[in-house]
Structure 1
Amino acid sequence: MTGGGTIRYDGHVTKAALIVNAQSRSGARACSHAEDLLLALDVPLHAVHPLRDASRLVEVVEGAVEDGHDLVVLGGGDGTVSSVVDVLAHREVPMGLLPLGTANDFARTMHIPADLDGACRTIARGHVVDVDLGRCGGNFYVNRASAGLGAAVAQHMSPVLKRRVGPLAYPVATARALRRHRPFAATLEFPDGDHATMELTDLLQISVANGRYFGGGQLAAADAGIDDAMLDVSVLHNGSPLRLLSMARELRTGSTTDSSLVTHVRTGSVVVNTDEELPINVDGELVANTPQRFSVARNALHVVAPPTWTDGG
């Protein structure tokens, strides 16, 4: 399937699998309701997997593809999506998404409705589009990878915190991470030769965004897209609490104007070296460490999107 091709359940998709991360914020109560909705909408479900053990997601998605399912309907949040895109990348099986997580930034990028009924209608009546994936070494991701504060935030997030405060878990975890943050130094190298090497000190965070949104609705850039073959790199410099608060407000608008606290770069590939090895947060999960190369996997993932989604999102 290629971008823009309409899903039709009269032959193109004949065997769908519903796989739900029942540990996600609303997954436990959503699986059976989604099954009923999808069947009522004539989606040909042949397998339903409500998973209480999130570590089995990759195994079950891989099994669904190997068993000949030509549509995988995935229920979960951004971490759930990111954990299985390595299985679906560069394969002809599209992914339908039920956004059941805390932030659901990938669903926001793809204009997929937040309510379960709307998401199921999108799967039944939408069209398939091709989107880029980011690559952090050998790991694919949909939204953003980050080192520094972003990785510390991931360490302070927990299922209990997400259940208790929902989207407010991000600012709560960020406040906790800031109290323990130690500034670091980094070198950014650009293998494509589109920018000069950058030597940076006293840093708070380096993030490399593939998608349009991350962190509960924060814009990577006002004109960021998930199919533009580019990464949006944001370097956050350390500063006083008051200046950091001002910077956070500015970043939520997607501003790419450089300042004393923020440096923006758009590129197809970047190598991040830090003065000491740092963990990297990839869509909410710590899966790699610096030094690391980030790049774009062009049109690597097929996703069922609503008619409102066009090139660039």
Structure 2
Amino acid sequence: MARLDGVRVAPLKEAPIADDGPITRAALVINTRSRTGSKAYTRALDMLRGLGLPIGSAYPLQDPARLPETVGAAVDEGNDLVIVGGGDGTISSVVDMLAHREVPLGLLPLGTANDFARTLHVPTDLEQACRTIAHGKIVDIDLGLSGHNYYANRASIGLGASVAKAMSPTLKKRIGSLAYPVATARAWFDHKPFAARLTFPDGDHAPQEYRSLLQISVANGRYYGGGQIAAHDSGIDDSTLDVSVLRHGNLRELATVARGFRNGTLLHTDQASLFRTRRIQVETEPRLPVNIDGELVANTPQDLSVARNALHVIVPQTWVDGRSAG
């Protein structure tokens, strides 16, 4: 793996870095359909080049469906660094192209929630994000794996999937982070309780059965859903997933649970069950869609696991580990 001039490369947990040469060629890929992507493209390109980054190819994409193939092509063309601008959905759509590759990801947070950036302490200010890419350090982090789909933040079943359906691009552009509570309220009225069985192939927890659930979440990152915290000590480099199971209840009970997610104090209660594991299998009745970082890409039953040290990414020099408060 190449390195940025003057950038300290954090030691990896597994394979050592193969090459210690400088970055010689970088690609910029921006989702201009993301909340601030269309305004940021030209500024980002100018700032990155002004900071000395050798941007050889740049792609302003209006069609998000082209993101994976474009990032994959950028890797195959021999770029030492791929810089991606967009929101959490953008990042989740391209991590399959970067997982277990030596090419690091540079992140420009241009979305609504930017939970992945929040976990990594990457600034949402465009200039500061560009400076982070130029002067940061490369670390390796975990990814979640739902079936054959990698994800950065969270996979969810139940209410979370209904929220994803209610989150239109127009709503996100119009009201920003307020789109999450609005979409959640809409989804709540359409939601139907479901039954589920959870099994843990590693034997770290006993099988669990539930009759009336609101949601199952399997989080890789520390933050998701517009700033909710998976667990008070969760991290994106701890080789585990944080599983939360929410039982169906009244609005007052759910408001208490929501506050726990917001400040990271949610505990194992009558309303919620929490598990930490490396792998979980989820069956539901009826079959339900699985929401992966805002995109509905699969259905239950689903096998979810952690992909350890799967992604190289640039973070600020001050970033310590995935559990740091931010």
Provide TM-score, normalisation by structure 1.
Answer: 0.97
Structure 2 unmatched runs, 5+: 4-8, 12-16
Structure 1 stretches of 4+ moved >4 Å: none
Residue 10 of structure 2: aligned partner: 4
Structure 2 residue 64 is matched with structure 1 residue 57: no
Structure 1 unmatched runs, 5+: none
Maintained 8 Å contact 2:257/2:266: no
**DSSP 3-state at the match of 1:171:** helix
Note the 1:175-186 alignment, pairs <5 A: 175-186=185-196
Structure 2 residue 96 is matched with structure 1 residue 90: no
For 1:311 and 1:105, the matched residues in 2 are separated by 16
C-alpha displacement at 1:13, in angstroms? 0.9
Residue 14 of structure 2: aligned partner: none
Aligned-pair RMSD on alpha carbons?
1.5
Q: Name the aligned partner's letter for residue 98 of structure 2.
A: L
C-alpha displacement at 1:12, in angstroms? 2.0
Identity rate of aligned residues, in percent? 61
For 2:22 and 2:162, the matched residues in 1 are separated by 44
**DSSP 3-state at the match of 1:281:** strand
Residue 238 of structure 2: aligned partner: 228
Note the 1:1-313 alignment, pairs <5 A: 1=1, 4=10, 11-312=21-322, 313=324
For 1:194 and 1:246, the matched residues in 2 are separated by 28
Per-residue Cα deviation, 1:59-80 (whole angstroms, up to 9, x for no partner): 1111111111110000000000
Maintained 8 Å contact 2:138/2:314: yes
Provide TM-score, normalisation by structure 2.
Answer: 0.93
Q: Which moved more, 1:249-258 or 1:299-308?
A: 249-258
Q: Name the aligned partner's letter for residue 151 of structure 1.
A: A
**DSSP 3-state at the match of 1:20:** strand
**DSSP 3-state at the match of 1:65:** helix
Q: Which moved more, 1:243-252 or 1:119-128?
A: 243-252
Per-residue Cα deviation, 1:140-197 (whole angstroms, up to 9, x for no partner): 0000000000000000000100011100000000000000110001000000000000
**DSSP 3-state at the match of 1:233:** strand
Q: Name the aligned partner's letter for residue 46 of structure 2.
A: D
Aligned residues: 311
**DSSP 3-state at the match of 2:150:** strand
Maintained 8 Å contact 2:241/2:279: yes
For 2:116 and 2:289, the matched residues in 1 are separated by 22
Maintained 8 Å contact 2:27/2:58: yes
C-alpha displacement at 1:244, in angstroms? 1.1
